């Protein structure tokens, strides 16, 4: 079909906007995403019914499910679900929860441990979301940390950590869009200017140690602490994903720790293998050239085989029981898979309507009297684009080349501009309801998806607002030090203000202690 009449116009923003608004109003994400896809097909094909159906189905859903990268991610997702089912059935998750209770003495420690684990697993955001959730749920559940708060911590240590980790799939993605220069070098030099990622870490630790929550998150935390209801709104697949209590009583901590270590090692090896490490490339270059889809699916499959052999040889669970976990893992991941498929299809609709060209046309002529404000403006545009499209990497591809072109005449702004493009993309990836990372964070915490979206949105937007101020300052300075200091002070000051406001929930001191100590 020829280029649609509405190509590269403001209409390209309408499909994701409709999907997001409907999801927030109706609390039904599947139908909202599908209506967004259908809207995109109508805008593309006009009154041609056959064209509408063909574009939505063939160019949207079928194309998304036949894309090799997407299929690899779905394979990884299913295998992770199977591994979690195996760990639960073996009793490893139950044993780890009991062991952690004797080591983790407070609610604060449980949350800090979750953050630290999220930071340690920095190689890939998908891997981070699902692994941290499966490992830490028994611990945070014991201290009545709501699943909404757990999902926020998981999400906030996924993309925001990956974007400041030089050895990660995200560094590889960014470096690929920086043409004519050493992409990894640019990525590393831009880290001090990546205010959104850095301030997200500041916010998480501040909330934990200040022992309070605000906005909608406060309602879920209050219900968890005072009524023992970790969900408030329960995810339909939570019981499948949370089968730890039904596991064997003969499991040990090693039955969880060893599979996780095997999974991490295999996925890292899979990543560098896909980047040519075993063909002579250096470790850093192998990560820069890696294919996350191939590496993670390959690594997780090998890890699954090793884990099944381990459980079978240890006689924790039989081979037949291991095979029984395969459909259980698939069932647990059915909802995230469907949401991901529809989200990818929605992105295909916006691509066909020229959303990238529309945004590129808005910012390519930026300059003149607004030079110092370029980092802040690009940050906000990047936030909006990533939120609407649900893709950070796609936002990198659109805005980073534009940012490089803009800074050719303003070289001193290159690092702030590059970091602003990346940071805004991470914000959108972090809190958009159609972002794959947001979807996986919900799955990792077994939290209702829209609950996760609505509870973390005020937190992410608070950080984005503070980051905007820092990018304005960065446009007038030649160093990241001043905007970093101002941003940290403003971030903590804002949280102190929110803590004193009437809508916040301060966790009682008694809730911070080990439950066994209170018994």
| CA geometry: angle 496, 502, 505, nearest 5 deg | 70
Task: Read off the pLDDT of each residue in 125-144 and give the average, rounded to a whole number.
Answer: 80
Cα 264 from Cα 300, distance rounded (Å): 9
Alpha-helical regions (H) of 390-433: 392-406, 414-431
Place of tokens 């041609």: 48
514, pLDDT greater than 70: no
Q: Kindly give, in sequence order, each residue whose CB lies less than 8 Å from that of residue 171, ignoring residues fewer than 6 positions away.
A: 162, 165, 184, 187, 287, 288
Q: Tell me the whole-structure pTM to 2 decimals.
A: 0.76
CB atoms near residue 215 (< 10 Å): 19
pLDDT at 152 over 70: yes
Q: Is pLDDT of 258 > 70?
A: yes
pLDDT at 519: 44
Tokens 């936002």, residue? 395
**Closest to 388 measured CA to CA, from 419, 359, 417:** 359
Look at residue 308 in the predicted model and tell me its pLDDT: 93
Distance CA 409, CA 77 (A): 44
3-state secondary structure of 366: coil
Report pLDDT digits (tens) over 416-427: 988 998 999 899
Q: pLDDT digit string (tens) for 453-476? A: 999 999 999 999 999 999 999 989
Integer Cα distance of 384 and 386 in angstroms: 6
Please check the confidence at residue 218 and state whether its pLDDT lies above 90: yes
Work out the pLDDT band at 21, boundaries 50, 70, 90: confident
DSSP string, 422-457: HHHHHHHHHH-TT-HHHHHHHHHHT--HHHHHHHHH
Separation of alpha carbons 241 and 363, rounded Å: 44
361-410 pLDDT, tens digit per residue, is 766 655 555 778 889 988 998 898 888 877 787 777 677 777 777 777 67
Cα 327–Cα 332–Cα 334 angle in degrees, nearest 5: 90
94 pLDDT above the threshold of 90: no
The distance from CA 232 to its chain's CA centroid, rounded to whole angstroms, is 22
Q: In angstroms, what is the C-alpha Rg of the chain?
A: 23
Q: Mean pLDDT throughout 176-191?
A: 72
Q: For the purposes of burial, counting CB atoms within 10 Å of the CB of 444, is it exposed (0-12), middle (13-18) or buried (19 or more)?
A: buried
Q: Which residue has better confidence, 360 or 133?
A: 133
pLDDT score of 366 = 58
Which pLDDT value is given to residue 212?
94
Cα–Cα distance measured from residue 488 to residue 152, given in angstroms and rounded to the nearest whole number: 20
């Amino acid at each position: 079909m020829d280029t649609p009449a509405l190509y590269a116009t403001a209409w390209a923003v309408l499909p994701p906007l409709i999907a997001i608004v409907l999801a927030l109003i109706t609390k039904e994400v599947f139908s909202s995403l599908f209506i967004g896809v259908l809207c995109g097909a109508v805008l593309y094909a006009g009154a041609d019914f056959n064209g509408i159906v063909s574009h939505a189905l063939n160019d949207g859903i079928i194309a998304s499910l036949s894309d090799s990268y997407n299929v690899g991610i779905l394979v990884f997702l299913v295998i992770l679900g199977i591994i979690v089912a195996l760990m639960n059935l073996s009793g490893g998750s139950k044993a780890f929860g009991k062991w952690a209770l004797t080591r983790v003495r407070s609610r604060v420690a449980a949350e800090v441990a979750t953050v630290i684990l999220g930071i340690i697993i920095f190689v890939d955001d998908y891997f981070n979301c699902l692994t941290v959730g499966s490992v830490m749920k028994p611990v945070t559940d014991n201290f009545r940390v709501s699943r909404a708060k757990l999902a926020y911590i998981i999400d906030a240590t996924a993309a925001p950590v990956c974007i400041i980790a030089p050895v990660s799939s995200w560094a590889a993605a960014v470096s690929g869009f920086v043409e004519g220069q050493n992409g990894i070098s640019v990525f590393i030099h831009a880290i001090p200017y990546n205010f959104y990622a850095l301030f997200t870490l500041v916010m998480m630790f501040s909330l934990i140690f200040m022992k309070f929550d605000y906005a909608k998150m406060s309602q879920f935390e209050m219900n968890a602490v005072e009524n023992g209801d970790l969900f408030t709104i329960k995810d339909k697949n939570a019981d499948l994903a949370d089968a730890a209590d039904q596991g064997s009583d003969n499991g040990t901590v090693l039955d969880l720790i060893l599979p996780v270590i095997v999974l991490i090692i295999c996925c890292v090896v899979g990543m560098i293998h896909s980047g040519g490490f075993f063909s002579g490339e250096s470790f850093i270059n192998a990560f820069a050239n890696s294919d996350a889809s191939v590496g993670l699916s390959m690594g997780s499959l090998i890890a699954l085989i090793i884990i099944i052999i381990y459980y079978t040889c240890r006689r924790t669970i039989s081979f037949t029981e291991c095979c029984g976990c395969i459909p259980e893992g698939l069932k647990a991941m059915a909802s995230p898979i469907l949401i991901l498929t529809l989200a990818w299809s929605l992105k295909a609709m916006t691509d066909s309507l020229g959303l990238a060209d529309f945004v590129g046309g808005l910012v390519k002529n930026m300059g003149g009297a607004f030079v110092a404000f370029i980092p802040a403006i690009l940050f906000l545009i990047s936030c909006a684009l990533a939120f609407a499209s649900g893709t950070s990497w796609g936002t990198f591809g659109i805005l980073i080349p534009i940012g490089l072109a803009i800074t050719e005449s303003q070289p001193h702004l290159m690092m702030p501009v590059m970091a602003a493009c990346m940071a805004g993309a991470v914000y959108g990836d972090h809190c958009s309801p159609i972002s794959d990372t947001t979807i996986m964070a919900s799955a990792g915490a077994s939290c209702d998806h829209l609950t996760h979206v609505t509870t973390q949105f005020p937190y992410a937007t608070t950080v984005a607002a503070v980051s905007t101020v820092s990018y304005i300052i960065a446009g007038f300075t030649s160093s990241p030090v001043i905007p970093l200091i101002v941003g940290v002070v403003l971030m903590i000051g804002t949280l102190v203000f929110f803590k004193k406001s009437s809508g916040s929930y301060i966790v009682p001191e008694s809730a911070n202690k080990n439950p066994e100590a209170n018994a």
